């Protein structure tokens, strides 16, 4: 059974992350299925825009520690979203952690419900938000990222909107998104593609410049003794040995 469901309404293709057993963690399977769905939408003239959303209370819990994606595949998915000639809109009504934030930041427009929460938890398991920085650093307030990258603190949707991590937040995420989706449906395919190209130029420059180095950093950190201790502690629901 695929962890990604596809539906369509008036030219908007919705990709729903549907892997509740691991809170929509970025497994090798889920990353591959999202990439395949995006490839199909790119070639479909009936699709004007893509909405990326989720079942359950979590948009994505980050990398699946039991079935992690290849770092190159994750980089490829983020770049695919940035290069897709159609806008990708994130709809968040729940929690987003670690690698899930890279997926969120890759999208062109995003909205979150007020009860959504966010956290960069990498430092707490002995790694760094390396690959996800390709989409986050060009689009998010650098002082806010410094705080939340380094501390792993949880923050709310209002703070996510203030820092540019999401476009907007509100009590009803669908009401927040409705005007944006209406605007996308009224726009020409050519206009959308060329405007998106302008908007993602800096993001793609970061991929060209930094992707190889950040992928290598991610692989090195995940293979380290501290990361093994951090991931084991997480799975065993205990504090890692360095907590003071």
Q: Which residues are catalytic?
A: 122
Beta bridge partners, 60, equal: 96
Whole-number Å distance between alpha carbons of 24 and 83: 23
Q: In angstroms, rounded to a whole number, what is the distance separating the alpha carbons of residues 112 and 92?
A: 5
SS (H, E, C) 50-65: EEEEECCCEEECCECC
In sequence order, the β-bridge partners of residue 15 are 6, 52
Separation CA 165–CA 104 (nearest Å): 8
β-bridge pairing 12-17 and 49-54: parallel
Distance CA 139, CA 113 (A): 20
Question: What DSSP character marks residue 26?
Answer: B
């Amino acid at each position: 059974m695929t962890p990604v469901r596809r539906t369509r309404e008036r030219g908007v293709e919705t990709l729903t992350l549907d892997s509740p057993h691991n809170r929509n963690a970025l497994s090798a399977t889920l990353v591959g299925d999202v990439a395949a769905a995006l490839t199909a939408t790119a070639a479909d003239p009936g699709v004007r825009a893509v909405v990326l959303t989720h079942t359950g209370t979590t948009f994505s819990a980050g990398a699946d520690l039991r079935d992690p994606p290849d770092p190159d595949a994750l980089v490829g998915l983020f770049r695919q979203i940035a290069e897709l000639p159609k806008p990708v809109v994130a709809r968040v009504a729940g929690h987003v952690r670690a690698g899930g934030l890279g997926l969120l930041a890759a999208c062109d427009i995003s909205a979150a419900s007020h009860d959504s929460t966010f956290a960069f938890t990498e430092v707490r398991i002995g790694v760094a938000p390396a690959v996800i920085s390709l989409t986050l650093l060009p689009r998010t307030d650098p002082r806010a990222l410094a705080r939340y990258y380094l501390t792993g603190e949880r923050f709310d949707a209002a703070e996510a909107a203030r820092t540019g991590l999401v476009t907007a937040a509100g009590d009803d995420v669908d009401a927040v998104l409705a005007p944006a989706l209406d605007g996308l449906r009224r726009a020409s395919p050519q206009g959308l593609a060329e405007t998106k190209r302008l908007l993602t130029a800096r993001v793609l420059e970061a991929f060209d410049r930094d992707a190889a180095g950040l992928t290598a950093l991610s692989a090195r950190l995940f293979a380290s003794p501290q990361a093994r201790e951090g991931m084991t502690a997480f799975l065993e629901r205990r504090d890692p040995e360095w907590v003071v």
